[in-house]
Amino acid sequence: MTSTTKATADLGRGYAQVLATRLRAVPALAWIAAAVGGFLGSVPLGLMMQYGNPKPLIALALPMMYGLPGPDLLAGWVIHQFHGVALAVMYVAAVQWEPLTEYPRTLRGAVVLAVVVGAVSTVLLSVLLMPLWLGAVGYPFTPAFPDLTMPEKLWSILGHVIYALPATVGYALVMRR
């Protein structure tokens, strides 16, 4: 190992230790508030997906992504709600990054970050990941890659912002104490 490689590895290890310390310092109630917010925010997003899209996303696409037979509305909703909680927990971890640690603790910051989360999750999940994953599992209505269908992607951004608000605001309210 060269001295540059070792220095880089040591630097990366140092950052990882700092992040681990920050994650351990987040109060349990903040994780819970974000997770509950993610669960609650997933409901209107899921309803938008179920009733605002002519293709069976909740009932067929989500179960197929995990190798389950479909259509299965209950399985689709369970998967969708799990995704909502998992993404909310990832949000808490992401905002422990040094430039962001204080901003998400304010209501203004929470609202702004909900818009950012909505836009970023739409691009990463709806535009990029979903077409690839759905194509891989043989979903009959797989969109083109990247999926830039309009106005559906604007609807998706709105839905993801609505999803993110309870998670980001819940985190902010707990961390403001």
State the pLDDT at residue 70. Answer: 80
State the pLDDT at residue 11. Answer: 55
Distance in angstroms (rounded) separating the CA atoms of residues 62 and 70? 9
Q: pLDDT tens across 22-63, in order?
A: 888 888 898 999 999 999 999 999 999 999 887 899 999 999
Which of 35, 41, 4 has the alpha carbon at shortest distance from 165?
41
Instruction: Band the pLDDT of 177: cuts 50, 70, 90.
Output: low
Distance in angstroms (rounded) separating the CA atoms of residues 62 and 46? 11
pTM: 0.85
CB atoms within 10 A of CB 3: 7
Q: What percent of the chain has pLDDT over 70?
A: 93
Residues 6+ apart with CB under 8 A from 102: 109
Q: pLDDT tens across 109-144, in order?
A: 999 999 999 999 999 999 999 999 999 999 999 999
State the pLDDT at residue 10. Answer: 54
Which of 17, 40, 136, 51 has the alpha carbon at shortest distance from 87?
40
Mean predicted lDDT score pLDDT of the chain: 90
State the pLDDT at residue 15. Answer: 75
Distance of CA 91 to the CA centre of its chain: 7
Distance in angstroms (rounded) separating the CA atoms of residues 28 and 94? 16
**86's tokens:** 């998992």
- Apex 53 CA angle, 50 and 58, nearest 5: 35
DSSP, residue by residue, 96-107: TSGGGSSGGGSH
Rg for the chain, CA atoms, rounded: 18
